[in-house]
Amino acid sequence: MAPHAPLIVPSVLPADAARLGDEVAELCEAGVDRIQWDVMDGVFVPNLTFGPDVIAAARAHSTVGFEAHLMVVEPDRLLDRYVDAGCELVIVHAETTPHLHRTLRRIRELGARSGVALNPHTPAEVVEGVLEETDLLLPMTVNPGFGGQSYIPAVERKVARLRAMVDASGLDIEIEVDGGISDTTIAGAASSGADVFISGSWLFKHPEGKAAGVRLLRERAAAAMRPLVHAGGVT
């Protein structure tokens, strides 16, 4: 299917951990479409972040859905914990499981939507055999582990490849980019075929506030996507 209308999804990685409930509520008021929790285990990536109990506690403060981006080894051990914590979408890294097909099916069996994240070096072809099992593809535009890194433009070639695969499949799969997304980088990702945009540090630091930042990102993405959406019909 052609790209969806752009979705703006903040990462709460830069949020004030002492005020997570309030930060989540402020993001909802700013008009975000979903909220992403960057879950890191200190093994797959050299950082340690949110456990399921933290996400469950924040759930009551949110009017939008939660997604968990699991940057963890052996994610199958944790899938049910993050679904039970209130994540309607669970994203695993292709690099962390030898049985990606089975892992994605398990996420759906638990009642959540499934997603596959790819590190910058991992080719798009890795997901060729699991398109029917996934609701979202996440070509990372930074090396995972930290916010505030620089966008990697070379990943746009992979985004375009994934867009071609998804459109050829006729399946309803979102293509999400994550890392270094700002008012100046979002157009390149959008024109390459992405339709969901994760922003952390840029959005939290936007001088005119989060609502203005969300509006600006949405406008820039929609303008860059217009030729693609027009070609494939609006979805």
- Contact call for residues 194 and 175 (beta carbons, < 8 A): yes
120 binds ligand DX5 (CB under 6 A): no
Strands 87-93 and 113-118: parallel
| The token pair that represents 101 in the structure block | 């097909």
User: Strand locations in 104-146, DSSP E?
Assistant: 113-118, 136-139
Question: Is residue 221 within the footprint of ligand DX5 (CB under 6 A)?
Answer: no
Task: Determine the size of the site formed for ligand DX5 (CB under 6 A).
Answer: 21
Contact indicator for 167, 2 with CB cutoff of 8 Å: yes
**177 touches ligand DX5 (CB under 6 A):** no
Q: Pick the closer one to ligand DX5 by CB: 156 or 178.
A: 178
Q: Is 201 in the site for ligand DX5 (CB under 6 A)?
A: yes
**Residue 124 to residue 204: CA distance in whole angstroms:** 30
Q: How far is the CB of 3 from ligand DX5 (least distance, A)?
A: 20
Choice from 31, 148, 167, 212 touching ligand DX5 (CB under 6 A):
148
Selected range binding ligand DX5 among 55-63, 126-134, 138-146, 154-162, rule: CB under 6 A: 138-146
Report yes or no: 6 and 30 within 8 Å, Cβ to Cβ. Answer: no
Among residues 175 and 229, whose Cβ is nearest to ligand DX5? Answer: 175
* Interaction between residue 119 and ligand DX5 (CB under 6 A): no
Our finding on whether 181 is near ligand DX5 (CB under 6 A) is: yes
Active site residue 16: no
Residue 16-55 contact track with ligand DX5, rule CB under 6 A, x = bound: ----------------------x-----------------
Between 76 and 201, CB nearer to ligand DX5: 201
**196-199 vs 174-178, strand pairing mode:** parallel
Selected from 51, 65, 120, 145, the binder of ligand DX5 by CB under 6 A is 145
What's the Rg (C-alpha) of the chain?
A: 16
Residues in the chain, overall count: 235
Whole-number Å distance between alpha carbons of 132 and 62: 30
Measured from the CB atom, the residue of 168 and 208 that comes closer to ligand DX5 is 208
User: Facing residues of 196 across strands?
Assistant: 7, 176
> What's the rounded Cα separation, in Å, for the pair 85 and 99?
24
Contact positions toward ligand DX5, by CB under 6 A? 11, 13, 38, 69, 71, 142, 144-149, 178-181, 198-202
Catalytic positions, written as ranges: 38, 178
